[in-house]
Structure 1
Amino acid sequence: MSQVLHTPPPTTSAPAAGEDDLAALAARHGLSVSGARPSLPEYVRQLWARRHFIGAFATAKLTAQYSQAKLGQVWQVMTPLLNAAVYYFIFGVLMNTKRGVEDYVPFLVTGVFVWTFTQSSIMAGTKAISGNLGLVRALHFPRAALPVSFCLQQLQQLMFSMAALVVILLAFGVPPAASWVLAVPALILQFVFNAGVSLIMARVGSKIPDMAQLMPFLLRTWMYGSGVMFSIHHMTGPDSGLPSWVGPVLQVNPAVVYIDLMRFALIDSFGGGMLPDHVWAMALGWALLAGIGGFIYFWKAEETYGRG
């Protein structure tokens, strides 16, 4: 007697709820994805709503920066002044880059202060996310608030340096002039540029922590090509022996643009002939390119910060 094995008929069961059904259920009850990236206009609105937090956070960081030092906030002015003194001895005296440059000390100090603003903003922005993971993971807020607040902190610190710069200008015989008001739009454009680059580096630094170790070398190289310690106009002139294209290429450098604008605004011997053509258009262009481009680039990765 043989047995016949019969394959049992397949059982049917109710289909599991699909992703579309779950999404509809969540939407019906007002639920949304945790940490989802908002639209760009909504993101801007959220960031503007936190403007008071950004200002308070920047001020608190600035106050705490030198809280353990005996001289306290005096270091906000002493640090760039000491840097300027070192650069004056090495470049102005030993390498004689002051040759042919009128008002070299105001020229140098202005360059050092303006460059330090950009350098410090970018360095702080690089570590804005990776160095504040506890805050990023604990609280819900637009992450762009962190690199922007660090740039604002550096702008506040620059204001202390600018007060010292005015004293130096007067001490070396540079008279006050109406052109000093041009420093305001120049600083605004530079702040927008710095914030944009900081946003870019904040996203890069959040994914590549080693970038914070590499940035000092990149920024130092950038500084040496930005005319902080020497006049690009004199160093690349007809008698320099350099190809004719070197000067125009260096003058397109955004750091050079903002440094030269500040020198033009504050130092009467630094005339318009030392500025590149269409310098204000370039300053505005760099600010818009870095500011808008950097903001969008950072926003696109908003939901990834603090994860992993």
Structure 2
Amino acid sequence: PAAKLRPHLAPGEPEALPDTNPVDQIIAHRLWLGFFIDRFEVVRHNSVEQLLLLGRMLQGTTKRLWNFSHHPAATGTFFTFMLLGLKFCSCQSQGNLQNFRAGLQLLEDRIYRASLGWFSYEPEWYDTNNINFAQSEAQSVSLFVHYLSSGRLDSLQSDSKGRATENGNSLVGANDHPVWGQMDNYIVGREKRKQLLLMLCQHEVDRLEVWAQPLSKEGTSSRPKISPDKWIEYARTAFSVDPRIAFSLASRFPTNTHLKAEIAQLVQSHILDIRCIPEALPYFVTPKAVDENSVLLQQLPHWAACSITQALEFLTPVYKGHPRVMAYVLRVL
């Protein structure tokens, strides 16, 4: 929506307006999703065939992350779907799905990555005359946070780890995953992704609740203070999943200097891998880099085009008309 309302603020070519209202499509998907949730609760204990069919649908939906809409009105529908996916993954403790544990763990990882992918875009709001819509969106994300923090999936992971030995004999490869290899390493990374996702979702809940009730006297619940080392860990975890998530993280917490400093270091150390991300430009195209004629500026001829407003910012006196920066600006304009 922001790219269509303010095309000068978005990188790339302006997008054409859709032929149909995307909000109507989102509401239709939400109704359809409600049917699947009801059906899942009916068949989860007595029909493995329908569970496997539902699992195939979940796998196919989360296979390609760009299939998901990032319209701000889709927040509640998106996280309701992710909640359904997590509940489905919790079925791996049931006897009728014991043989499909590896596939469920793969689906769980896709759900985590897809959920984090929601935060690879800058936060937006959806304005509507329905005063209950924003509140229901916040409630949907809150339900996802509650289930994610309940620890049900953790107990299942520890249970699967405990099955690596049987009758006193070690099973070779019993604790290995067909994709990630040693599950011990995966579980460590999974926990970091989970903590990052919890923090981002809690922030999203607070943001949506304030949007829904800006004059509420109750206010949002206080969150524990996050240490600088934890912010650095969040930045590294986000960057490892998708660098865009790290850049969006900085836009959500614009005054956090520890976070931005770590992201700047990550950009400089992975400069060749993120040429397609215009949001990385402010982290290495700086007045200091211009003064020092940094070698990082040699990457500008290969960089993706940024927004018009950001290109115009590079014309300001602090960049001193550096030839590489000016060539990039002319290419964008």
Q: Report the TM-score, using the length of structure 1 for normalisation.
A: 0.31
Higher normalized contact order (CA 8 Å, seq sep 6+, divided by chain length): 1
Instruction: Point out the structure with max Rg over C-alpha.
Output: 1
